[in-house]
Structure 1
């Protein structure tokens, strides 16, 4: 596992800080250079979030053996990757061992994700996502801006969780949980470019898929269930999982399963006194390691902070 957060005042030092990348950054915007890089690498997945205050030209070679993705988090103007405009409605997607040219604007914030090709292929097969080689050759894929923003926030949150407590991800399951969370977010965006397949499942079958997913959450309270977990354990494709939840619950799978875990935390809080089970412990028991995000999600669902929930006496 490798995790770091660094601040730079020189473009070359910034470029060299990205582990495993052969590249050069040329500053072309005026002003003193200021930048930062947050990066985490484990279990065949590398994620980095980079920011810089001035316009930069990035040239180099994409890591061999990986498929690289990029999501725009912010910038004073669109990016340009291999001559194609990239903004909030686009995602960089390119196979490794190829030269690249990226123009990044002033005040840019970019999320880069490199996933081992074999790992991405295995995850896609398990999820029923057919990734064609020609798809990645397009360099930039159009995606719904809202979906890209959600995926970006999820990945950034995962990276920040590792940086805040690296030891929590050093366990046997930690690296794979990190890799699954990132890969799952990317596959969700790639599904927008997978042709729809006719879904002949009955409503009863879809309901059964939702029920079994619900049971999985209750059986693994301390470990959140990802979409990849559902696909592998239920032996169905990602699209089937998504269609089933949308049909039965009118919610996406992750939102539904998060609500189920939040409901279990609330039940635990109302059934126990604060002195016996503090809010932090209750959240951790149901897989919420980031208390800030937990409190925000809890308030959104129940209209009050967990600290305001009436406890048993």
Structure 2
């Protein structure tokens, strides 16, 4: 049976928590009020969503288990990294169910995600003449395909998604055809002779540095490492660190890592009640001990004071 909804948000954490089946956090990196849209459609064997966010965001989490997860960038308006790989406007994203991921999404990017039950996808794959080659290709999180074919497939996928979202016919009538059409479009992209079946896209050193720093700061909440500490831990120069963050996230290490911690405070506030945890204690959990400085930095990033953040809006 079809389940669909269209949501608009003024907070990326509520947006992230509303995406069905996905266990993930979004962290806002660019400054200003957040505005985003999320359209979701679930059928018997597939879940699809179309999202767009007006801020630069880093997404990290775990892909839904027992699923095969694809995503199609609708536009690529800035620097994009998926699992440390550079992305262009003819790249298909892929994650295996249960796989950890980190995705750097630029301001204004629109993304269509299509996730199949593993059994459904593997049955369809087994019927293609290039099943073994595609299996090898699916070891890559970023698959570069024919630019011309990708543009056409993107239009068709968007059209099918939009029609399904607005259809008033009973889901049982068209759901199997939609699922099969989505599968066919994605498989055809990878079967196409113009798609290199042996391609390898290693993670860049710069992306590795940024992701390692992100995880270290998130893990060491109370005593966040400084930029100098991170340089020593990763055995890289300050210039290398600076260049890495500029290339991957279009910002400085200091701003990026402070934003990750500020987003951590915001998630904490939104999953607790004021009677449970004060703003000061929530800030201290993420290494902010000077409340006036913290409030100013929080306001600069989110365009609201910590006291204006809605408490316990997300299930803890």
TM range (shorter): 0.5 to 0.7
Check if 1:179 corresponds to 2:188.
no
Distance 1:96 1:31, change over 3 A: same
| C-alpha separation in 2, matches of 1:75 and 1:142 | 14
Alignment check: 8 A CA contact 1:3 1:162 kept: no
Q: How does 1:84-163 map to 2 (within 5 A)?
A: 84-131=85-132, 132-163=134-165
| C-alpha separation in 2, matches of 1:93 and 1:182 | 14
| C-alpha separation in 2, matches of 1:75 and 1:32 | 21
Q: CA deviation at 1:194?
A: 7.6
Which residue matches 1:55?
56
* Structure 2 unaligned spans of 5+: 199-316
Q: How does 1:218-229 map to 2 (within 5 A)?
A: none
Distance 1:177 1:26, change over 3 A: same
Q: CA deviation at 1:64?
A: 0.7
Q: How does 1:1-313 map to 2 (within 5 A)?
A: 1-131=2-132, 132-165=134-167, 167-170=168-171, 172-192=172-192, 193=195
* Structure 1 unaligned spans of 5+: 197-313
SS at match of 2:131: coil
| C-alpha separation in 1, matches of 2:47 and 2:31 | 31
Q: Deviations over 1:218-253 (max 9, x none)?
A: xxxxxxxxxxxxxxxxxxxxxxxxxxxxxxxxxxxx
Alignment check: 8 A CA contact 1:162 1:168 kept: no
| C-alpha separation in 2, matches of 1:84 and 1:10 | 27
What is the aligned residue count?
Answer: 194
Alignment check: 8 A CA contact 1:130 1:194 kept: no
TM-score normalised to structure 2 length: 0.58
| C-alpha separation in 1, matches of 2:170 and 2:60 | 32
| C-alpha separation in 1, matches of 2:131 and 2:197 | 9
Over aligned residues, Cα RMSD in angstroms? 1.8
Q: CA deviation at 1:105?
A: 0.3
Q: Deviations over 1:13-64 (max 9, x none)?
A: 1111111110010000112111101111113111111101110000110011
| C-alpha separation in 2, matches of 1:188 and 1:133 | 14
| C-alpha separation in 2, matches of 1:29 and 1:19 | 25
TM-score normalised to structure 1 length: 0.59
| C-alpha separation in 2, matches of 1:156 and 1:180 | 15
Q: Structure 1 residue runs of 4+, over 3 Å off?
A: 131-134, 192-196
| C-alpha separation in 2, matches of 1:22 and 1:195 | 30
Alignment check: 8 A CA contact 1:155 1:182 kept: yes
